[in-house]
Amino acid sequence: MKPMANLDYVSLYAEMLRENNKFFLQQKMLIDSQIKASSSLFKNRFAGKDFKTEARKYLRAVGLLKP
């Protein structure tokens, strides 16, 4: 039997979601946890400093803002 590739899982999950909306619950958990983790990471990283200044330094360093 041929093993499933990543795209096969994407298709399978999309089909399951189409037929049964209870599978959206897992998606919500993943997205919500990602946002909470990101928020917590940057709040800790820039704690006690000027947020925008530090955030812009970080964004320049990762290429999301022009130098």
Partner 1 sequence: MKGYTLENGTVVINRDLTELDFFVKSFLDVLKKHSGFLIVSGFVSISTGRTRGTEDVDVLIPLLEYEKFKEFFDDINKHGFWCYQGNDAKEVYSYLQEMTSVRFAKKGEVFPNMEVIPVTPKRKTKWFELNHPQDIKIKNFAFKVSPFEFEILYKEIVLGSEKDIADARHLRDFFKDILKNEKFKEFEKIIRLEL
Helices 24-45, 51-61: axis angle to 10 degrees equals: 110
Q: Which is nearer to partner 1, 2 or 22 (CB)?
A: 22
Minimum distance from residue 64 beta carbon to partner 1 (Å): 7
Q: Which is nearer to partner 1, 1 or 5 (CB)?
A: 5
Q: Which is nearer to partner 1, 3 or 6 (CB)?
A: 6
Q: What is the DSSP letter of 46?
A: T
Minimum distance from residue 28 beta carbon to partner 1 (Å): 5
Cα–Cα distance, 23 to 17 (Å, whole number): 6
